[in-house]
Amino acid sequence: MGRYEEIYQRSIKDPNGFWGEAAEGITWYKKWEKVLDDSNPPFYRWFKGGELNTCYNAIDRHVEAGRGDQTAIIYDSPVTNTIQKFTYRELLEMVSKFAGVLKNLGVKKGDTVIIYMPMVPQAAVAMLACARLGAVHSVVFGGFAPHELAIRIDDAKPDVIISASGALEVAKLIEYKPMLDKALSLANHKPSKCVILQRALVKAPMVDGRDYDWDELMKKAQPAECVPVKATDPLYILYTSGTTGKPKGIVRDNGGHAVALRWSMPNIYDINPGDIFWSASDVGWVVGHSYIVYAPLLTGCTTVLYEGKPIMTPDPGAFWRVISQHGVKTMFTAPTAFRAIKKEDPKGEYIGKYDLSKFKYLFLAGERLDPDTYHWAHNLLKKPVIDHWWQTETGWPITANCMGIEQFEIKPGSSTKPVPGFDVRILDTTGKEVEANKEGLVAVKLPLPPGTLPTLWNAEDRFLESYIKPLPGYYFTADGGNKDEDGYIFVMGRVDDVINVAGHRLSTGEMEEILATHPDVAECAVIGAGDELKGQLPVGLVVLKAGANREPAEIKTELRSLIREEIGPLACYKETAVVARLPKTRSGKILRGTMRKIADGEKYSMPSTIDDPAILGEIEVALKSIGYAKKS
């Protein structure tokens, strides 16, 4: 039995022993009475009776252990031409003083605080200061529309809102304060206090009696000490990016979260205290919570906080510059970032300008890593490119090639094997396990490990409805996929990304894999559009690589032939629309569901998380040109 198998089996058969040992990796004020409290399934709780403080574990204990002079955060902002480094001691001073600011504003243990900020160090400081006081933070992605922010204000009911005057997205100025003011006018819940970070790039108008200047408050603040909280007390709420209706507030507790993230760094990412880790995401998403702020600091690493893009800040070599300049060992980002680089620099010419000798691994998650992008990145970097899969709800990876345990052979298209703690099964709609290589529903047998969602914020019924009732006894991931004979998991996308063509259930993810192998295709999406005769037909939307100057009709014919060769005539793949770009959320997920509604001429809500709303008009024009979107 290999090392991975031994660790994995123990985590499933003896979760109390396994996670009890892992919990020794963090500092507790009071030890737990029970590792796993299974007295009220499916509402499982971890480390019942234990008391700790997440901020203490992320900062204070490293300073006390003599690591105060180590760099904690590298702030790299090509959009403002700024690089700043903060040691653990400096971070402790900033966080404890800002916790003092919040305390003076009346924030106490159990209160909620909304953070609506760009990618600046103060965003991490605000999160950690809330954790220091035992307050529950809810970070809303900076630049979210006022309506969406107002919905979250009404659900979380914050006592204080923390924001900034604005941000630059490449060269475009985004003013946050007018959006915050509008959100507050729309919201029924009216927080009485807002703390505003005035950035040099734009001055925000302030409301007397309600708005406070971050820097002014910090000058007068006294440091606040850590407040012990229960392991089962909430650390934060993070709202999922639903396209319609009320967003779901994912709850993360303090104890299980700290234990799981601390365990994940050495075991999944091969990252240990003192190493330099870079997650190129945003603090507004779960990746930013887990792997920009909490996991690296809980581990005693140096974390890179990057305010920029993979391209245009200033060029497709942006990522290589950051890795080289700061000596990054492991990087984690979304496949969509690498597809953007591939589109602008297909031959990878920019990489030759930089020394990547300290760089060891590239981890990708957030969208399926199509084999073409995998091969492009792997051939370019000559380093392990690791696809791993997880969700906002789980807070850390469900499946991965665990680099710190045992490195497995990579199978392009697979996120390798279940991470210890996650009992992943492939089930049919009745909850019965399917045989190897057969498509089914990806589910995780309960209980979920520490660090995952115990429930939804003030919505236990919705938690049961969304995640438990579809497959009793399991966590329903809403993803489809299969497991091969070696135990490798292939996640093919959301269940509604499986289309039914004349009774044949076909994976759009598989078709996307095939289209992506075409030498002129930079990025693609396949949707199932309604058809009177066959129920649904696959329609491809492709973005061509820079320099692909052939006739689109020629490329479309080749793509049709590719699908026919690989899947067969039953796929009925005939139509492709060539587009300049695909609609995505700000976290990089392609909005396939919205495109499907456009193709079928159905009404759709403008997704709250869309990167650029104007793109949907372009998609509609492109779909009309091939005979779809007739009724919209």
Q: Is the peptide bond before 118 cis (omega within 30 degrees of 0)?
A: no
| Pairwise CA distance, residues 282 & 97, whole Å | 24
Report the pLDDT averaged over residues 343-354.
95
Question: Could you read off the pLDDT of 497-533 as tens digits, one per residue?
Answer: 667 676 565 778 878 988 999 999 999 999 999 887 6
- Contact between 366 and 335 under an 8 Å Cβ cutoff? The reply is yes
Assess whether 409 and 462 both reside in one domain.
yes
Report the pLDDT averaged over residues 339-361.
95
Report the pLDDT averaged over residues 556-565.
91
Assess whether 189 and 243 both reside in one domain.
yes
| Pairwise CA distance, residues 170 & 428, whole Å | 45
Assess whether 145 and 196 both reside in one domain.
yes
Assess whether 473 and 565 both reside in one domain.
no
At residue 503, the pLDDT reads 58
| Pairwise CA distance, residues 387 & 473, whole Å | 27
324 belongs to a structural domain: no
At residue 349, the pLDDT reads 96
Residues 6 or more apart whose CB falls under 8 angstroms from that of 207 comprise 181, 194
Assess whether 437 and 529 both reside in one domain.
no
Report the pLDDT averaged over residues 223-252.
87
Assess whether 477 and 520 both reside in one domain.
no
518 belongs to a structural domain: yes
351 belongs to a structural domain: no
Packing angle of the helix pair 176-186, 146-156 (nearest 10 deg): 50
Assess whether 28 and 80 both reside in one domain.
yes
At residue 632, the pLDDT reads 44
DSSP E strands: which ranges in 296-439? 302-306, 330-333, 361-364, 385-387, 399-400, 417-418, 424-427
| Pairwise CA distance, residues 160 & 137, whole Å | 10
Question: Could you read off the pLDDT of 365-378 as tens digits, one per residue?
Answer: 987 788 888 999 99
Buried b (16+ CB within 10 A) or exposed e, 556-591: bebbbebbbeebeeebbbbbbbbbebbbbbbbbbbb
| Pairwise CA distance, residues 53 & 129, whole Å | 11
Instruction: Locate 222 and state its tokens.
Output: 């006294």
**Do the strands 498-501 and 504-507 form a parallel or antiparallel pair, or are they unpaired?**
antiparallel
Location of structure tokens 């063509």: 501
- Contact between 81 and 61 under an 8 Å Cβ cutoff? The reply is no
Q: Which of 188-202, 291-305, 438-452, 528-542 has the lowest mean pLDDT?
A: 528-542
Percent of the chain predicted with pLDDT > 70: 97
- pLDDT of 244 higher than 60: no
| Pairwise CA distance, residues 589 & 35, whole Å | 36
- pLDDT of 385 higher than 70: yes
Location of structure tokens 């365990």: 263
341 belongs to a structural domain: no
Of 437, 452, 482, which closes a domain? 482
Report the pLDDT averaged over residues 69-84.
98
Report the pLDDT averaged over residues 118-138.
98
Assess whether 117 and 261 both reside in one domain.
yes
| Residue 432 backbone phi and psi in degrees, to 5 | -95, 140
263 belongs to a structural domain: yes
| Pairwise CA distance, residues 377 & 380, whole Å | 5
Residues 6 or more apart whose CB falls under 8 angstroms from that of 553 comprise none
**Do the strands 34-37 and 45-48 form a parallel or antiparallel pair, or are they unpaired?**
antiparallel
Assess whether 181 and 40 both reside in one domain.
yes
Of 453, 482, 511, which closes a domain? 482
DSSP 479-545: EEEEE-TT--EEEEEEGGGEEEETTEEEEHHHHHHHHHTSTTEEEEEEEEEEETTTEEEEEEEEEEP
At residue 241, the pLDDT reads 55
**Do the strands 136-139 and 160-164 form a parallel or antiparallel pair, or are they unpaired?**
unpaired
Assess whether 508 and 432 both reside in one domain.
no
At residue 505, the pLDDT reads 59
Instruction: Locate 431 and state its tokens.
Output: 């909850």
Assess whether 53 and 183 both reside in one domain.
yes
- pLDDT of 332 higher than 50: yes
CATH at 606 = 3.30.300.30
Question: Could you read off the pLDDT of 399-419 as tens digits, one per residue?
Answer: 999 999 999 999 999 999 999
276 belongs to a structural domain: yes
Cα of first residue to Cα of last residue in the chain, in angstroms, is: 58
How many structural domains is the chain composed of?
2
**Do the strands 211-213 and 193-197 form a parallel or antiparallel pair, or are they unpaired?**
parallel
Other CB atoms closer than 10 Å to residue 310's CB: what's the count?
24
Question: Could you read off the pLDDT of 570-628 as tens digits, one per residue?
Answer: 788 989 999 999 998 877 888 988 999 999 998 888 877 787 888 999 999 999 999 99
Of 449, 482, 515, which closes a domain? 482
- pLDDT of 243 higher than 50: no
Average pLDDT score, the chain:
93
Query: Which class for 379: exposed (0-12), middle (13-18), buried (19 or more C-beta within 10 A)?
Result: exposed
CATH at 138 = 3.40.50.12780
Range of the domain at 173: 3-308+388-482
340 belongs to a structural domain: no
346 belongs to a structural domain: no
206: helix, strand or coil: coil
At residue 370, the pLDDT reads 81
Query: How many angstroms separate the Cα of 419 from the Cα of each of 127, 244, 374, 448?
Result: 27, 32, 21, 12
- Contact between 295 and 262 under an 8 Å Cβ cutoff? The reply is yes
In this structure, is the dihedral angle defined by the CA atoms of residues 93, 98, 99 and 103, taken in order, positive or negative?
positive
| Residue 535 backbone phi and psi in degrees, to 5 | 90, -65
Assess whether 213 and 251 both reside in one domain.
yes
